[in-house]
Amino acid sequence: MSHFDVQLTQSPRPRPAENALGFGKHFADHMFVAEWTSQRGWHDARIVPYGPMSFDPAASVLHYGQAMFEGMKAFRGADGKVRLFRVERHSRRMAEGAPRLCMPPPDPEMMQQAITELVRIDSAWVPSSPGTALYIRPTLVASEAFLGVRPADHYTYFIITSPVGAYYEAGVKPVKIWVERSFVRAPQGGLGAVKASANYAASLLAAENARKAGYAQVLWLDAAEHKWLEEVGTMNLVLKIRGELVTPPLQGSILAGVTRDCVMTLARDWGMKVVERPISLDEVVAAHRDGSLEEVFGTGPGDRLVIHDGVIGETAKRLYDEITGIQYATRPDPHGWLTEV
């Protein structure tokens, strides 16, 4: 699908001050919408004014949870130009994940065209202050009205955008992490490798319990033995042990994060050893005790681990500076991760 209709708003929304954006609280003027049915495939693609969407009370997504989404950003560079960060990778990940939910994969090329045009139309919404961006949320839901456990025959794909500040208001600082030993985010063979909405619903109770106990995020362990590290909050996990970067392997319960790929790619560019292997909580505690755990903060059973004297580690800081430098076009983009709008 290479063409879609555009209806511009006649009532532009007031844009919020850039020092008060927060995350996901404000939404730009327009959104992209497309429909899919088994008879017509993808059709009725359009960009329209942002506003409520109408779903039948029997819409399948409301009863059986066929829903997934992506999350990416557009940045206003130091030169004033707007660029998407790794839009191709995000589009491909959504297309590859949809079949796991028996949903029709949005064509990656259609996704990229729609995102690019939507951001171009709402480019004034892309903030310019340090740490800000335009967050882009493509979403796919089952919209057929029926009651019955089967894949739907009608799906709605839409994209909304939101000017945002930092996801974590405290900024790039060490945070307290709660190791969750009872609840699980996703088992192997489940939906953990897909950005399914259900994964986030499953994480809420443990996250709320951790927050009430004074922790910023949850470190998720595997579902079978509750001993192997998986993800932390909504992020992939990377540790620095004995000078090596170590991250859990993708084995069906962990999302293949785009930032994870960036970190691994850049670290290897710099000559660092990057290892994908299972990491047990016992190994983390032992490495902390013998001084070989260099860059992570968390809580283990009966222990409190403070790594690198409670300040951000050198490697993490270097990676953060490099990735944000590429995003804001203040550093070279050797891997072609940026797409100018």
pLDDT digits (tens, 9 = 90+) for 88-112: 999 999 999 999 999 999 999 999 9
Which residue type sits at 226? H
C-alpha to C-alpha distance for 302 and 232, rounded to whole angstroms? 19
Question: Is residue 77 located within the same domain as residue 226?
Answer: no
Question: Is residue 153 located within the same domain as residue 111?
Answer: yes
User: Cβ-count burial of 250 within 10 angstroms (0-12 exposed, 13-18 middle, 19+ buried)?
Assistant: middle
The CA–CA distances, whole Å, from 313 to 273, 308, 319 equal: 17, 6, 10
Question: Is residue 24 located within the same domain as residue 142?
Answer: yes
The CATH number of residue 290's host domain is 3.20.10.10
Reported confidence tier of residue 150, pLDDT bands at 50, 70, 90: very high
Question: Is residue 298 located within the same domain as residue 186?
Answer: yes
For residue 53, the enclosing domain spans 5-167
Report if pTM > 0.75: yes
Q: How many domains does the chain have?
A: 2
Question: Is residue 125 located within the same domain as residue 12?
Answer: yes
End-of-domain residue from the set 116, 149, 167: 167
Assess whether pLDDT exceeds 90 at residue 306. Answer: no
Helix axes 258-269, 87-97, angle to 10 degrees: 130
In a domain, 316, yes or no: no
C-alpha to C-alpha distance for 243 and 36, rounded to whole angstroms? 49
Question: Is residue 224 located within the same domain as residue 281?
Answer: yes
Reported confidence tier of residue 87, pLDDT bands at 50, 70, 90: very high
Assess whether pLDDT exceeds 50 at residue 284. Answer: yes
Which residue blocks in 257-313 are alpha helix, DSSP H?
A: 258-269, 281-290
In a domain, 318, yes or no: no
Q: How far apart are the first and last CA of the chain?
A: 19
